[in-house]
Amino acid sequence: MTSSPENKITRSDLVKSAVNVGALGMEFSWTYYKQMNIAFCLMVANMLKKIYAGRPDDYAEALHRHCAFFNITVQFAPFVGGIAMAMEEKVARGEIEPESVNDVKAALMGPLSGIGDSIFLSTLRVVAAAVGISLCQAGNPFGPIAFLLIYNVPGFALRVWGAVKGYELGVGFLDEAQRTGLMQKIMTCVGIVGVMVVGAMCKDMFWASIPVAIGSGEDAQTLQDILDGIMPGMLGMIAFWLYYWLLSKKINPMVLIVATMVVGIIGAFFGVLA
Amino acid sequence: MLVQAILVGLVGAFGCLDYQLGTLYAFRPIVLCPLVGLVLGDLQTGLAVGASLELLFMGSISIGAYVPPNETVGGVLACAFAIQLGQGTETAIALAMPIAVLSLTIGNITDAGFSIIVDIADKCAAKGNLKGIYAAHWSMGLFGCLEYFLLCGGAFYLGSDAIQGLLDFIPTFVIDGCGVAANILPAMGFAMLGRLVLTKQLVPFYFLGFLLCSYANVPVLGVALIAIIIGIDKFDLLGLGGAQPQLSAEGDEDDDF
């Protein structure tokens, strides 16, 4: 699926589509109903106009086609846009059925959202937040800026690269990636980074302690000192697995938050938690 | 006071506008609370509250079917009240979650109304009317910004006295208890993340991350960088050859345990 002389979309069209109002506003007009459908349509509208130049009816039909339900990790949207435009060129030449474009888009949503959410939301965002939070806690106003840069620079790179690459690769890419196991490898790699960061944060970003004194006079130690002597940050890890277990029992997070507040208030009242 | 309320409202509106800027995650407390601090003249409290609330809402991301409480309105208002009333992070934490849940409810109501505009956009598309689709996009998004502006600015303008009364009424150990809860709750956020990414195959790596931080005091960013190297090495992503890792057997273990 390489570019043929009849192709109308240029590299600069694709790059523009990766950062236009639609591509960046994927969640601006988000609804439960059709989610990112309007933004997706706006993202590809100019390219559709080019592909269907001088064919207003086909253009309107294509616009309408791309107003269908759409949802994805936002940084991957231009990639899907690129693939869809490679297909639209074929539709315009009558080589494939128009319906197949939306079938492919729908098929891409699941796997790409899965990989995208694990890269961006549960890994990169967490690393960015960890760095930003540490800086903020030290009173450093660079904290929020560091958070935004770490989270977004890779995202914008992926948007631009994705639009161009998606168009070049066309529909074949995902099958290829799944067949060779590349997708699985990337998912596992991202998973390793994600869980190691979560593990580290259980130690670094958990501050509750048990200041109950054990012994008296000179030898007095708090329970916290003893726990930290065995394994620093042990409480955070225990709390993590306790919550993990409770969540696996399908207990609503809101219930757990309220319960934690109650435990905190009781603990503060008796001075056993701080 | 009115000027301050407008500024707080604008910070909230900016949080919503972030969805047009590419979902930069600038709508998170870690970005908005320092901004609130800036406009109310107490950047340091803003930074401290931002850090605490970011952790409180760590697991609050819209993945799958779970729609999280509105951390944007919750974060902005809780931080604004805490600064306005001369309180610290404990107060902000006690206020943030109830406000966030309430704003989620209000947001759900407007979302239902937006379905009409989505249908109008659909009709415009069928006629090839691109301007109509743009109009739908901007009207929905900007209405959201207006909603955030009114919620944040309005509640801040009208609510300070009520919140002050509430705080006078609540005993100190309750506020302290909320502070304790805020020290514990990050673990819940991490557990929610864990529920998304943790598989049997990955459990050892959770402990590796924890132990590196616990015994070797490696900071979180350092752990992340080490993790990347492990990932590259394990799957030979640089393609340098060597023993091919056994992938096939482990591929199906993504289910919960």
- Per-residue pLDDT tens for A6-65? 788 999 999 999 999 999 999 999 988 888 999 999 999 999 999 999 999 999 999 999
Of the residues A47, A198, A260, the best mutation for testing chain B's interface (the one with the most B CB atoms within 10 Å of its CB) is A198
Residue numbers in A near B26 (CB within 8 A): 148
| Per-residue pLDDT, A76 | 95
Backbone angles phi, psi at A35, to 5 degrees: 55, -110
Q: What percent of chain A has pLDDT over 70?
A: 96
> Cβ contacts (< 8 Å) between A256 and chain B: which residues?
188
The H or E element that residue A78 is part of is: helix A77-92
Q: At residue B25, does pLDDT exceed 60? A: yes
Q: Is A30 helix (H, G, I), strand (E, B) or coil?
A: coil
Q: Is A259 on the interface with B (CB under 8 A)?
A: no
Best A26, A136, A178 member to test B by mutation, with max B CBs in 10 Å, is A136
Residues of B in contact with A59 (CB under 8 A): 128
Tokens 């998170």 sit on residue: B28
**Ramachandran quadrant class, B85 (left: phi over 0; alpha: psi -120 to 50; beta: rest):** alpha
Beta carbons of B48 and A135 less than 8 angstroms apart = no
CA distances from B135 to A81, B16, B20, B131, B150 (A): 21, 18, 14, 6, 22
Do the chains contact at A28 and B24, CB–CB below 8 Å? no
Pairing of strands A221-222, A213-214: antiparallel
Of all residues in chain A, the one with the smallest CA distance to B218 is: A200
In the DSSP assignment, the letter for residue B245 is P
Between residues A226 and A178, the one the model is more confident about: A226
- Determine, for residues A244 and B205 on separate chains, whether the beta-carbon distance falls below 8 Å: no
What's the whole-number mean pLDDT along residues B137-165?
A: 92
- Number of H-type helices and E-type strands within chain A: 13, 2
Q: Please state, in angstroms and rounded to a whole number, the distance separating the CA atoms of residues B89 and B82.
A: 7
Instruction: Please indicate whether, in this complex, the C-beta atoms of A132 and B213 are within 8 angstroms of each other.
Output: no
Under an 8 A CB cutoff, do B24 and A265 touch?
Answer: no
B63's CB contacts (< 8 A; 6+ apart) are A117, A121, A122, B196
Nearest CA in chain A to B114: A31
Cβ contacts of A100 within 8 Å, gap of 6 or more: A87, A91
Query: What average pLDDT does the structure give for chain A?
Result: 89
Cβ within 8 Å, pair A206-B173: no
Which residues of chain B neighbour A197 with C-beta distances below 8 Å? 209, 220, 223-224, 227
| Mutation site, B184, B236, B257, interface A, largest A CB count within 10 A | B184
CB B12 within 8 A of CB B2: no
Nearest chain A residue to B25, by CA: A148
A96 touches B: beta carbon within 8 Å: no
pLDDT interval class at A2 (50, 70, 90): very low
Confidence band, pLDDT 50/70/90 cuts, at residue A153: very high
What is the C-alpha separation between A9 and A47, in angstroms, rounded? 7
Rounded to whole angstroms, how far apart are CA atoms A235 and A210? 9
Q: pLDDT averaged over chain B? A: 87
Straight-line distance from the first to the last Cα atom of chain B, in angstroms, rounded to the nearest whole number? 53
- Residue A192 and residue B144: Cβ atoms within 8 Å? no
Nearest to A199 by CA among B197, B91, B161, B33: B197
Chain B contact for A164 (CB, 8 A cutoff): no
Instruction: Tell me what ipTM this predicted complex has.
Output: 0.83
Among B58, B176, B198, select the one facing A268 at the smallest CB separation: B176
Residue A35: strand pairing partners: A31, A70
User: Which residue type occupies A38?
Assistant: I
B191 interaction partners in chain A (CB closer than 8 Å): 240-241, 243-244, 246-247
Q: Which amino acid is at A101?
A: V
Is the alpha carbon torsion for B224, B24, B67, B100 positive or negative?
Answer: positive
CB-CB under 8 Å, A267 with B196: no
- Six-digit token string for A137: 């806690």
CA atoms within 13 A of residue B238's CA, in its CB half-sphere = 9
List the Cα angle B35/B36/B42 in 5-degree steps: 95
Cβ contact B203–A195 (<8 Å)? yes
Are the Cβ atoms of B188 and A243 closer than 8 angstroms? yes
CA–CA separation, B157 and A94 (whole Å):
61
User: B183, A127: Cβ pair inside 8 Å?
Assistant: no
pLDDT digit string, tens, across residues A108-141? 887 788 788 888 988 899 999 999 999 999 999 9
Is-contact A75 A116, C-beta < 8 A? Answer: yes
> Is the pLDDT at B157 greater than 70, yes or no?
yes
What tokens does A258 get?
Answer: 């309220």
Task: Tell me the C-alpha distance between A229 and A129, whole Å.
Answer: 28
User: Residue A31 forms beta bridges with which residues?
Assistant: A35
Question: Between the ranges A52-56, A176-180, A210-214, B235-239, where is the mean pLDDT highest?
Answer: A52-56
Contact criterion met (CB < 8 Å) for B209 and A122: no
Work out the average pLDDT over B92-103: 85
Give phi and psi for B136, each to the nearest 5: -65, -45
Compare CB distances from A42 to B134, B186, B232 and report the shortest one's residue.
Answer: B134
Contacting residues of B for A191, CB less than 8 Å apart: 197, 199, 201-202, 205
CA distance B3 to chain A (A): 24
Q: How far does A84 lie from chain B, in Å, by closest CA?
A: 17
Q: Which of A122, A109, A274 is nearest to A197 (CA)?
A: A122
Q: What is the pLDDT of residues B161-203, one digit of tens each?
A: 888 888 888 888 888 888 888 889 889 888 988 887 888 999 9
Q: What size, in residues, is chain B?
A: 257
Three-state SS at B152: helix
